[in-house]
Amino acid sequence: MLLNTDISRRVVIDTEEMPWMDSPLPGVARRMLERDGEEVARATSIVRYAPGSAFAEHSHGLGEEFLVLEGVFSDEHGDYPAGTYVRNPPGSSHRPHSRGGCTLFVKLRQMDPEESRFVRIDTAGAPWAPGGEPGLLVMPLHDTEREFVALVKLEPGALLERHPHPTGEEVCVLEGVLEDDEGVYPKGTWVRNPPGSSHAPRSRAGCIFYSKTGHLAAG
């Protein structure tokens, strides 16, 4: 399957308007945002676990990155409530499940093969840092030469200066409504801006979004 694999094209998807598609595992459904491959694929998805659902132990050949959006996700290493950011590096394995159900924003097979660090961040308790413009706060989650991942908060009325993204940017709106000169993006919207794009983000009522930059440079 090839879905939104051309990174030179801008993509905007309101994920909350998408139908859920059953995965091969009973109780696990997904909304596919980008995908290159079949069941083993480079993919970005919204994934929903029904209460009591579970995966058998499996490995992630090129890593797994996810943010818990709702509920509590669990594996043999611990419980991860809503707001938890996780990176499982290439070659790692686990047995995921959810007792009460959960929803995740998931990226598969998109890591540097040499990455080896596990990351577990409870963003609900992590500090925000000033972002350099009025009304802008940033919570860094992962920072390497290859990519920068963060949560970004725009306070009500924030209007940022126009800035370029030479290597593109990926955004998932987690709370509130994000805007720019291209459109309006409510909670649940996934945006992939291509390399060389620019914009001036703003938010009338405030918003929080996941942001990743740098990873689109290699294609």
pTM of the prediction? 0.95
Q: For residue 149, which of 46, 66, 91 has the smallest C-alpha distance? A: 66
Taking the mean position of all CA atoms in its chain, how far away is CA 153?
15
Last residue of a domain, one of 90, 122, 154: 122
Q: For residue 155, which of 173, 127, 176, 136 has the smallest C-alpha distance? A: 136
Q: For residue 193, which of 35, 15, 11, 34 has the smallest C-alpha distance? A: 11
22 and 107 in a single domain? The answer is yes
Q: Which two three-digit tokens encode residue 188? A: 């649940």
How do residues 141-199 score in pLDDT, each as one tens digit? 999 988 999 999 999 999 999 999 999 999 999 999 999 999 999 999 999 999 999 99
Q: What is the DSSP string of 164-181?
A: EETT-EEEEEEEEEEEET
Total domains, the chain: 2
Domain, as residue range, for 15: 2-122
How do residues 81-96 score in pLDDT, each as one tens digit? 999 999 999 989 889 9
113 and 138 in a single domain? The answer is no
17 and 104 in a single domain? The answer is yes
